[in-house]
Amino acid sequence: MKCGYCGKPVNSDAGTSKNGSIMRYYKCSGKRVSKQCQLRPIRKETLETLILESVLEAFETPQNLLKFADDVMLLLKKQYHDHSVLNLLRNDLAKVEKSISNLLDCMEQGISTASTKNRLEELEEKRSLLTEKILMEQYRERQLLTKDEIVKHISTALRKNPKQLIDLLVKEIRLYNDKIEIDLHFTDKKSPDDENHWDFCFYQCEKSYIVDTHVFKSKPKEYRVKIKLKV
């Protein structure tokens, strides 16, 4: 989080009021060096609630939530296909089928012994077992999470762990005396070293809140919160 006026980091701080109670707030670090920055302190709990609720509200819009759920489903299916037991079973079955085919070719050419017949019986039994396991695994695959279950999980899980929500979604916060600007992460990086280029705004919303914001003022103040998702 940065100060919207001087660009310095905004850090949490605390002080003691006249009645002895501890006041927790956020304050521009630039004020420690110079008193010229006009950003006023804001209550810690108020600011954190504003940011959290604003990000959740943007994230949980039906359009965005369904889009995220679709992406999660595609990823789950891809991972399941790439690393599933079903995939391994199918590979094993293909090898057994090839071995059976080779043995049958030999037998058709007159090459047939007791060992050949025993081996063929073993392979046919193995093929039967693999076919049965594949059917069971196909049923299991159909029990993957549904889209509704993913939507429900995203909605509840992020509220239970707000720190994870902020760490994953928020790129930068700029704080002013009357507004908060929040930029969200978006990336399709192929590797951690790739640079992400911000070209245009993919999603944007703005909302006003009337809250008791300032540490040394009791009068409620209006804050405008603007959220951007850039790609």
Residue 200 pLDDT class (50, 70, 90 cuts): very low
Boundaries of every domain in the chain: 78-141
Taking only the tens place, the pLDDT of each residue in 114-167 is 888 888 899 999 999 999 988 887 776 666 678 888 888 777 777 777 777 788
pTM: 0.56
The rounded distance, in Å, linking the Cα atoms of 2 and 204 is 20
The rounded distance, in Å, linking the Cα atoms of 10 and 124 is 71
Kind and range of the H or E run holding 160: helix 147-160
The rounded distance, in Å, linking the Cα atoms of 19 and 57 is 37
Cα-based torsion angle of the residue sequence 101, 103, 108, 113 in order, rounded to the nearest 10 degrees: -160
Taking only the tens place, the pLDDT of each residue in 8-53 is 999 998 887 777 788 899 999 988 777 788 998 888 988 888 888 8
Region class of 194: left (phi > 0), else alpha (psi between -120 and 50), else beta: beta
